[in-house]
Structure 1
């Protein structure tokens, strides 16, 4: 009788061991997941710089391959020529237009206060002065809060020049031999996941190259049309405002609105009619961009739904600060492709045409 009780107790203790081990494994797994999530949040600024390097490396890689095909040069020489050509474009633009643009940016900075005053005086004559002042006061507080957050992000990540050099050097190293990093990433994956991930990387690379090429053309066209249109309307600092419009065209949906604000304000220094014509000019340029240039970008890259892009900009700005806003579009392109290839097509088994 005693032996039977002992056997029963032994079997019970043996049954408890697997349950305890499962609880321990689950606890360790949860702690590990939380630790990785916390680490990703803490390193979010660095991760965005890494993504910027990857995006720039994609450009260098495309240029390097083209030079290798055209000249038959070795990859190292072709990469050096690509980097020199990339930097040469910015250096030439600076030497040709730098002084003029600096003067025009000074004009924008000095003319904005008087433009605000003229707008308020015009609104006062319409009898809407007090509501507009309250709206401007409230909006000014919101803008200052956003600016302070962006400034805090820049301070924690380092100054802009240092980050730019870090991104450039990282992109050169990655573009020097991208197969090393690709192969290393695939080696970390289970064998059955290697093929879908390799296909997703290829799709994302093609989509990213197409987006950058199309976006470059779009930004140049928007900058040129805005510059010429504002100059024809007699708006001060048309060149600087055109450059701002071209640069902010990278930010989907929100960028054109931001670039139009200083242009309309400076147009008010000429006349209210010029401000109305300036609004019409920006609407016309954005119609051209939305109906012609943007479909061209999506054809070359990834057809991301507009609403998804809009909320992606807001989410990236909330999570990663100002740098997240700038990189929201390419980050959305890559994420969209990965979701289609890995989740929808591989895990769910649904037959879809993957973008990119």
Structure 2
């Protein structure tokens, strides 16, 4: 009886001992959690790569929502109207401007756009002839064929990334997302905050407010620069009688949204078109370009940079090159806001760690006190 009792006890004891696949073992549970975290991080990284284009479209919607929100807040300083009405006013004003641009300037700008490639090619040919006449050996080439080859090469890189997202479809999705987000930004912010641990929610809310304010200021300065550069360029060129003044003003304004890259491109086009009307007109176009860029670089950009994220030009240019190759014109347009938001997140995380370690927080826009989220 004793042997049978000891045997039963041993069997009973052995049945309760954890096995190699038993998750009641603390060590096994700990290692399983570690493995699950690493597998989840790898899966998340793969998912981000796979969904890079849709995520960029969503970020574009957030940027567009910041533009709408900034306009609504600006109207709110003058007219104490409900937020929804102010957003509708911003959207109606934007749509009205686009309709005016198409109705009153569409034909003229379309005709000028059709003439510009021939003018640019003729000026480049003259430049090459001048170079050869001064002993600079330049190989003969067809500019149109070269440009076509370059565009085909870029298209082959970005076409498979773009997938079904065409230009108009992407723009439409960005606008719809921006409108939805701008109508109830707190709803989406609370939704993301709810998915985070409770201890991290207040930190996320404060960081999101910092990002929203900096993004609004960044875009406000960008839109102001676009308006000033486009209008000033168009008016100054039209006064002197430069061909395609309206188109050059429009291109200058649109390309001003791309820092570091847009200004040289618009300036090159302006100078080439100017020299098509003679040396005096070409020199005048150079003066116009220098004056407009000087005003924008020394007045508008510093005024906005004091209230937003100060980004190194080389950092922005590098991000534009990478985003441009990966996502085309959409990546070029969103590279600057993306880098700005990433810098704010990293600076706030660094300040948070310094505060926990008892070190003074670094100075800068991202470490400023949180601004009230007034709508």
TM-score category (smaller protein): 0.7 to 0.9
Residues 261-317 of structure 1 deviation map (CA, whole Å, 9 limit, x = unaligned): 322332343345644553444234323322222112212422222222222222322
Structure number with bigger Rg: 2
Structure 2 partner of 1:323: 330
Alignment counterpart, residue 303 of structure 1, candidates 297, 306, 310: 310
Aligned length in residues: 350
Q: Any gaps of 5 or more consecutive residues in structure 1?
A: none
* In structure 1, C-alpha distance between the alignment counterparts of 2:109 and 2:144, rounded to whole Å: 29
Q: 1:28 aligns with which of 20, 29, 36?
A: 36
**Larger deviation, residues 255-264 vs 206-215:** 255-264
Tell me how far apart the structure 2 counterparts of residues 264 and 150 of structure 1 sit (CA, whole Å). 30
How far apart in 2 are the matches of 1:275 and 1:69? 44
Q: CA deviation at 1:66?
A: 4.7
1:250/1:329 contact within 8 Å kept: no
Q: Distance in 1 between matches of 2:214 and 2:190?
A: 20
Q: Which residue of 2 aligns with 1:168?
A: 175
Contact kept in structure 2, 1:46 and 1:157, CA below 8 Å: no
Task: Tell me which residue corresponds to 2:60.
Answer: 52
CA distance in 2, matches of 1:68, 1:289: 27
SS of structure 2 residue aligned to 1:130: coil
Whole-angstrom CA distance in 2 between matches of 1:132 and 1:276 = 27
> In the alignment, which of 285, 289, 292 is matched to residue 282 of structure 1?
289
**What SS class does the counterpart of residue 138 from structure 2 fall into?**
helix
Q: Secondary structure at the match of 1:301?
A: coil
**Greater helix share, structure number:** 1
Give 2:260's aligned residue: 253
Divergent runs of 4+, >6 A = 10-14, 134-140
Q: Partner of 1:207 in structure 2?
A: 214
Instruction: Give yes or no for contact 1:153–1:322 (8 Å, CA) kept in 2.
Output: no
**TM-score (normalizing by structure 1):** 0.84
> So what's the TM-score if we normalise by structure 2?
0.80
Are the aligned partners of 1:219 and 1:249 in contact in 2 as well (CA < 8 Å)? yes
Q: CA RMSD in A?
A: 3.4
Q: Does 1:355 align with 2:361?
A: no
Distance 2:75 2:239 in 1: 40
Gaps of 5+ in 2: 1-6, 8-12, 367-375
Contact kept, 8 Å, 1:52 with 1:327, in 2: the verdict is yes
For the Cα contact (< 8 Å) 1:309–1:332, is it kept in 2? Answer: yes
Deviation, structure 1 residue 128: 1.6
Shift of the 119–336 alpha-carbon distance from structure 1 to 2, 3 Å rule, reads same
